[in-house]
Structure 1
Amino acid sequence: MKRVSIFTPETAVPSAVSGPRYVFTTANQFLRASGKPPLFDVKLVGCKKEVKLQEGVFTVSVDQTIDQVTSTDLVIIPALFGDMKKAVALNKDAIPWIVEQHTNGAEIASLCVGAFLLAASGLLDGKKCSTHWAYYNEFQDAFPQVEVAEGRVITEDAGIYSSGGANSLWNLLLYLLEKYTDRDTAILASKYFAIDIDRSSQSAFTIFKGQKEHNDNDVLRIQEYLEKNYKDKITIDELADLGAMSRRSFERRFKKATKNTAIEYLQRVKIEAAKRDFESTRKNVNDVMYDVGYTDNKAFRTVFKRFTGLTPIAYRNKYSKM
């Protein structure tokens, strides 16, 4: 039997606790139906018997407390809810247990922003990690020693797994299910739960709002200028002059504040505008391309796919409201 311990954090998102339990217990049903013995021994594990989820809105009774689990094969850390720093602090007593299980040979999987609790354990230091796209900057600021795998739905690094935003947790659960059973069982589960089994990127869901949670007012003013004038031809020297800085100083400060170069930032602003056009108008690709300040079709398509994971036509077909 594979022992699956779903750690149940204070303030967890309820669906991120029930989801993994549902997947692995249902897989046992599939195995029984095909004449095979059940494979997974699934337990909810908490720091105490009664755990409050989503800031006290829900309460769950766990099967075991962490002091009762000395050995397991897989620890799943569900998504946290609310303020990440406070959520990690509320669950700090579980960190030594998570580290101990990994030391004893257990694999560890974080779901969405459960990555914050996993990273607080130090187990991700020097490794790559997926998390919700809306938390990239906060996560990177809190854990600079961890590399964020931007856009990735699933990341695996030396027996430690992580998933991207929200419903991406289902993709990681199917990935783990296939690893522990076989492809046929994973496909059956994907059909049963109506989940795209091979989705690898969350880029198409990303909404770029500009990285403005910093204290550099000169950079902030330049960001606002770029967002208002993204259709125009803008040079780095022009932006440096706007901030009354040398080019070298400007590029260093802009990257430090926003985590993007000025060129990358402008590209992301342009692509966000293009996404809105594709979602809400009937414009063709060339019209949208010109509207956001591109004149080279190949360059536009390349940049668009880099930031969304889709071609412009595929994105329009998927998200157009018209």
Structure 2
Amino acid sequence: MKNIAILVPEQSVLQAIADPQYCFSAVNEFLVRSGGAPLFHVELVGLNPEVKLNDKRYSVFPDQLLPTATSPDLVVIPALFGDMKTAVEANKAYIPWIKEQYESGTEIASLCVGAFLLAATGLLDGKKCSTHWGFTNLFRELYPEVEVQDGTIVTEENGIYSSGGANSYWNLLLHLVEKYADREIAILTAKYFAIDIDRDSQTAFSIFKGQKTHQDDAVRKAQEYIEKKIEERITVDVLADEVAVGRRSFERRFKRVTNNSVLEYIQRVKVEAAKRSFETTMKNITEVMFDVGYTDTKAFRTTFKKITGLTPIEYRNKYNKLARMN
């Protein structure tokens, strides 16, 4: 029997508490129906006897309170909601308990932006971590010692698990079911919940907005230039001249504040523009390619797939309803 503690933090997402409970309970039901014994004992662990969520519309009543909670085999940290700094501060009482559990052999899993609370423990320092694609810049800013995995659905390292954004946490739940039960039960669970069991990337869902919260005016000016000249072939030398900074210094500064090389940033801006065109227009691949400054079909296709995980045609067919009908 695996004892699982699902935390009930303040400012957390109700579904990210209910879904893992539902998942592990369903696995128990599958096992019992097949003549076996239930595998999971699931309890909710909170700081207070009643936790109000979703603007106090819903109440969750934990099975155990933190001071007297027994040591589980797995701790699940659900997604937080709202301002991440405020949410972590509201739940700081969990931090020493999570660390204590991990140091005594308990595994830890964070769902989506639950990674912010996990990272606050220091357990992720020097380790890899997944989180929601829309929060990676803030995560890097708050926890620079953690190696954020862009686009990755599930990350596992030394008994610590984390997942990508929103419903991606279902893939982590399936990963845990397969580890604790077996592949057959994981597949059955995936079919029951209609989840693609082996989806390993959230890049097709990400929206690149650029990293502009820094204070480097020269780099910000270069970013704005890239976005305005989307149809042009832009080089590092052109950008360095535009902002009157030496090339080497410019490249170092750009990488430091955006976490992308200049070339990576240019590619991501161009691909983001191409994605919007595929979603909203009936332009063909070649037209979109030229619109964003590419002249080599192979190079465009390779770059697009590297960033989104899909080919241009696959992306257009996935997100443009009219394209699918033609």
Give the TM-score normalised by structure 1.
Answer: 0.97
Deviates more, 1:49-58 or 1:201-210: 49-58
Structure 1 residue 107, shift from structure 2 partner: 0.6
- Matching residue's letter, 2:25: T
Partners in 2 of 1:157 and 1:309 — Cα distance?
Answer: 23
- Partner residue of 2:260? 260
Q: CA deviation at 1:55?
A: 4.7
Q: Is the 8 A contact 1:54 1:82 kept in 2?
A: no
Counting only pairs closer than 5 Å after superposition, residues 1-322 of structure 1 correspond to structure 2 as 1-322=1-322
Give the whole-Å Cα distance in 2 for the aligned partners of 1:71 and 1:269. 47
Distance between the aligned counterparts of 1:253 and 1:58, measured in 2?
Answer: 47
Distance in 1 (alpha carbons) for counterparts of 2:50 and 2:70: 20
Amino acid at match of 1:2: K
Offset of residue 311 of structure 1 = 1.2
Query: Which has the higher mean CA deviation after the structures are superposed, 159-168 or 269-278?
Result: 269-278
Secondary structure of 2:303's aligned partner? helix
1:303 aligns to what SS in structure 2? helix
Deviation (angstroms), 1:121: 0.5
1:128–1:146 contact (8 Å) kept in structure 2? yes
Q: Tell me the amino acid that sits aligned with residue 150 of structure 1.
A: D
Q: Deviations over 1:85-130 (max 9, x none)?
A: 1101111011111111111111100000000000111111110000
Amino acid aligned to 1:273? A
Give % identity: 62
Residue 280 of structure 1 contacts residue 321 of structure 1 at CA under 8 Å; is this kept in 2? no
Contact 1:31/1:38 (8 A) holds in 2: yes
Following superposition, the deviation at residue 299 of structure 1 comes to 1.1
Count of residue correspondences = 322
Quick one: distance in 1 between partners of 2:105 and 2:311? 42
Aligned to 2:125, the other structure's residue is in SS state coil
In the alignment, the residues of structure 2 paired with residue 56 and residue 257 of structure 1 have an alpha-carbon distance, to the nearest angstrom, of 38
Residues 149-199 of structure 1, C-alpha deviations (whole Å, 9 max, x = no match): 111000000110000000001110011011111112111111111111110
Which has the higher mean CA deviation after the structures are superposed, 256-265 or 6-15? 256-265
Deviations 1:73-93 (A, max 9, x none): 000000000010110111101
Q: How far is the alpha carbon of 1:56 from its aligned partner?
A: 3.3
* Inter-partner Cα distance in structure 2 for 1:217 and 1:247: 16
Q: Distance in 2 between matches of 1:23 and 1:173?
A: 7
Whole-Å Cα distance in 2 between the matches of residues 317 and 14 of structure 1? 33
CA distance in 2, matches of 1:31, 1:320: 41
| Greater Cα offset, 284-293 or 20-29 | 284-293
Tell me which moved more, 28-37 or 245-254: 245-254
SS in 2 for 1:7: strand
Q: Report SS of the residue matched to 1:192.
A: helix
Q: Aligned equivalents of 2:259 and 2:108: distance in 1?
A: 28
How many angstroms apart in 1 are the aligned matches of 2:254 and 2:26? 49
Any stretches of 5+ residues in structure 1 without a counterpart? none
Give secondary structure in 2 for the equivalent of 1:92: coil
Q: Give how far 1:283 is off.
A: 2.2
> Quick one: which amino acid aligns to residue 256 of structure 1?
R
CA contact (8 A) 2:233 2:294 kept: no
Q: Bigger shift: 39-48 or 230-239?
A: 230-239
TM-score relative to the length of structure 2? 0.96
Structure 2 residue runs without a partner (length 5+): none
